Chain A
Amino acid sequence: MRTQPIDQVAAHLGAETRAATYEGSKIGHEKRTRLLFDHYADPDRLRALAGEIKQHVVENLDTYLPAVEARLSANGIRVHWASTAASACEAVHSILKARGATRLVKAKTMVSEEIELESFLRERGIESLETDLGEFIVQLDHDHPSHIIKPILHKNRRQIAETFEKNGLGAFNDEPGVITARARQFLRHKYLEADAGLTGANFVVAESGRLVVVTNEGNSRFCLAATRCHIALVGIEKILPKDRDLALFLNLLARSATAQQLTVYNEFILGPRAAGQPDGPDEVHVVFVDNGRTDVLASDCRDILRCIRCGACLNVCPVYRQAGGHAYRSVYPGPVGAVLSPLMLGKRFPEKADLPKASSLCGACNEVCPVDIPIPDLLLRLRDKAHAEGVPSPGTPPMGAWALLATQPAAWRAALAGGHLLNHLPTRLIPVPALRAWESKRELPPWRGGEFRKWLKMRRK
C-alpha cells in the first residue's frame, strides 16, 4: 500500500519526538488563543486588517523595494540584493572578508537556514555561532530546526542535557534554568570576541527605513552592541508601509508566536552608530534575499508572502503535530511551509509537490493566521498545479472513473446498486488501493446504495 511521504515519516516517528512535538505545539496554540481573546474583543478584525496591509505590500513590492533602498541608504545603511541563496551567502562573505572578519555571532534568522550560510562560511574559514538558545542546541547537535519559532520543539530536556554533556558544557543536568545559565556563560564572551553580528529582521518599515528585530533572549541586542559590523539578512517580503503599522504587527506577532503581549527585546534600528553614541556598529548592511520569492509572487499563491513567521499555523496543525517539522524536508514546515517551500523551488516544484497534500484541509491554520492567509485555498491550488504538471501522488485515488459515473445519473444509479457486492465480497479481494488504505485502519460501514431513493419513492406513493 503506497502512502504519502509525510505519512510514512509520521508512522516511524520516535515516541519521544512525537510527544515533544505534540505537547509543544498544543501548549503554544492554547496559550495564544487565551491571550488573543482575553485582550481583544474581536481579534479576527485585527487579523483581517493586518492581512490587508501585508497583501498591499506584496502587490506593490515593485515600488516598495526601491523606496526602501533609498530610505535605508539615506540612513547610512548599505543595501545589497541577492537573487539566489548562493549570491546571498556571497554577499555576507564579501562584507566579512572586506573587514578581515573571521568570527560571526548570529541571532536567529530563518533566511540564514534557507541559504545554508553556516556551511558556506565555514568552508571559507569563518566561524559563525548561533546565539539563540534553541538554534545553539541545533548547532551543537548538527540538527535542523523543526519549528520556525521554537527550533528544538522536537527535543525534550533529557536530550538537550545529554547534548550539553557531550559538548563539554557541564555534567548532565536537565533543569531548564541550569541549561540556560550554562549556555549564557558559554556565549557571553563569544560576543566580545566576535568581529560581526548577523540578525534577520521581522519588519523593515518603508516610511522610515527602520529595521525591527524581536527576540526573547536579548541575544540580538548583544550581537548589535558588541560588534562593529551588523548584517541583517532579510526576505524581500518583510516590508511594512508605515511606522504606525508596527503597533498592529508587533502586537499580533508576539501573541501569535509565543503568546506574549510583547516580545521581550524589540530592536528598532535606524542606522549605524551616530557620533556621540557610545555603542553600536559602525557599519550596518541589509542583504535583501529573493531566493525564489519572486517565483511565489508570480504565482496565484502570492498571498503566502504576507507571512510574518509566527508559527501559529504549525502549532495548531494536526498534521504537523503528528509528523513533526522535519517531515516537511524544508526550512519552513507546517501549513505555511507546505505552500511556501514547493513554490520557492521554482521549476523544481515537483520535488516538494507532495507537501500541499499533507493537510486534511481543516482550516485551523487560516483561523489562527495573524495575517489571515487563506492557506487551505493555496494548498488546493498547489494540488491542482501538481496534478496539471503530472506529478505522481501516491495514495491519491484516480478520479477519472468517478467523474464519469458522477456525470451520468443512470451509471451512478447502477453503481449504487452494484456496490452491494461490497457486502458479500471480502474487501481484501477488491483491487482498489483506496479501499485497502481505508481498511488498514477502519471498518467500512455496510453498503446501502440506493436505499434512500427507494425509501423516498415508497413515501411519496
Chain B
Amino acid sequence: MARPGRAPVVGKRVQLMATCLCDAFHDDVAAATVEVLEHLGCEVSFPEGQTCCGQPAFNGGDWPASRRVVRHAVRTFPGADPVVVPSGSCAAMMFHGAVLEFEHEDDLGDVESLGRRTWELGDFIVNGLGVTTWPGRLDAAVALHRSCHTRGTGSSDAVALLVGSIEGVRLVPFGEGEQCCGFGGTFSVGFPHISAAMGDLKLDHVRAAAPDILVSGDMGCLMHLGGLAAREGAPMRMLHFAQVLRDALGAPA
C-alpha cells in the first residue's frame, strides 16, 4: 500500500483525531499526543463532534454503515488544516480504506481530500514537520511493534527514528517483527483463537528480547497484547510512542 500524495503542512494549526479507543479507554495517549504536538509549537484543536474513523464497519463488511461514519468524520474535520491521529490504523482508514469504499460515491472527492491531509502522528512529526530527533531522556530498552496498516508508508521508520533518537533509549529488535499481532479489529472477536495464538507468538518474541517497554503506534495492538498478557498473569509494560515522547520531555504523566 502506498501513501497517496498529500497536502504539504502549512502553518502550525492541527486538528486532533483522538480515535475511539483513546476516547473510551486510553485517554492518556490522547493527552500525550496533545502535549507532544504542543511541544512542537502546534496549535491543537479538538473538534468535539468527533467519534470514530469508520473502520470497524469497513473491516466488518458493512460498508454502508461505515460510509455514514466516514461522512460524519468529513463534516467534523473541515478546512485545510492537517488532521493528526495517534494511530496508524485510523490514519490508513482515512487515506486508504475510506477512499476504497467511496470509489463509486458522489462525494469521493471530499473523502480523498480529508485523506490527503490526515497524518499518523509519527509520520506527521518526521515527514510533515521535518523533526527527526527528540530531546529529553528516557533510560529504557524499547521494543517497537510496527503498525501493520502503515506498511508501505513512512510511519514505522518515523517512529523508530524519533524514539531511537531519545537519549538513554536502546531499541531492541525481536523475532518476526514484520508479523501481525493478531488484533485486526473485528478479526479479534470473529477469530478469537487464531487472534490469541498470533498475539502469544508476538509476546513470546518480545519477551525473549527482554525490553523494559513494548511501544507501538496503535492502541488496538496494545490493548490486545496487553489484555492477553494480563490474562496470562504476566503483564508487560506497554506504551504508545506519544507517551514515550512526552515522558522523555519530563512532562507530568
Contacts and interface: CB of A to CB of B under 8 A. Distances in A.
Contacts of A399: 56-57, 60, 62, 65-66
A443 B230 contact: yes
Nearest to A377: B100
A159 interface: no
B189 A437 contact: yes
Q: Determine which residue in B56, B190, B231 has the highest number of CB atoms from chain A within 10 A of its CB, and name it.
A: B190
A323 interface: yes
Interface stretch (A106-114, A222-230, A275-283, A386-394): A386-394
A84 interface: no
Interface residues of B, number: 70
A357 B176 CA distance: 23
A80 B27 CA distance: 65
Contact of A443 (B50, B60, B183, B231): B231
Interface stretch (B129-137, B166-174, B207-215, B220-228): B220-228
Contacts of B224: 442
Interface in B182-210: 182-199, 201
B65 A361 contact: no
Given A437-B190, A456-B34, A387 B25 contact: no
Nearest to A445: B25
Contacts of A438: 188-189, 192, 227
Contacts of A380: 58-59, 61, 97, 100-101
Interface stretch (A4-12, A71-79, A171-179): A4-12
Interface string B118-130: 0000000000000
A165 interface: no
A362 B92 CA distance: 12
Interface stretch (A89-97, A144-152, A406-414): A406-414
A396 B186 contact: yes
Given A7-B193, A397-B186, A446 B46 contact: no
A453 B49 CA distance: 11
B180 A362 contact: yes
Interface in B72-105: 72, 97, 100-101
Given A403-B57, A442-B227, A394 B51 contact: no
B24 A449 contact: yes
Contacts of B101: 380, 384
Nearest to A26: B176
Nearest to A8: B193
- Taking residues whose C-beta sits less than 8 angstroms from the other chain, chain A's interface range is 35 or more
B173 to A, nearest CB: 15
Interface in B228-250: 228, 230-231
A364 B57 CA distance: 22
Contacts of B185: 360-361
Interface in B153-185: 176, 178-180, 182-185
B189 A397 contact: yes
Contacts of A23: none
A419 B23 CA distance: 11
Contacts of B62: 387, 398-400, 403
Contacts of A383: 59-61
A192 interface: no
B90 to A, nearest CB: 13
B65 A452 contact: no
A187 interface: no
A43 interface: no
B140 interface: no
Nearest to A18: B197
B33 to A, nearest CB: 9
Given A362-B180, A363-B151, A363-B152, A400 B194 contact: no
Contacts of B59: 361, 380, 383
A434 interface: yes
A452 B31 contact: yes
Nearest to A44: B152
B190 A3 contact: yes
A318 B56 contact: no
Contacts of A24: none
B30 interface: yes
Interface of A: 1, 3-4, 6-8, 10-11, 26, 318-319, 322-323, 357-364, 366-367, 374, 376-377, 380-381, 383-384, 386-388, 393-400, 402-403, 405-407, 409, 412, 416, 419, 433-434, 437-438, 440-453, 455-456, 459
Interface of B: 1, 18, 20, 22-27, 30-31, 34, 46, 48-52, 54, 56-63, 65-66, 68-69, 71-72, 97, 100-101, 148-149, 151-152, 176, 178-180, 182-199, 201, 223-224, 226-228, 230-231
26 contacts: A3-B193, A6-B191, A6-B194, A318-B201, A319-B194, A322-B193, A359-B187, A364-B178, A383-B60, A383-B61, A387-B63, A393-B190, A402-B52, A403-B62, A403-B66, A403-B68, A419-B24, A433-B189, A437-B189, A438-B189, A441-B195, A441-B199, A450-B23, A452-B18, A453-B48, A456-B46
Going nearest first, the 3 A-B pairs with the smallest beta carbon separation are: A360-B184, A442-B227, A383-B61
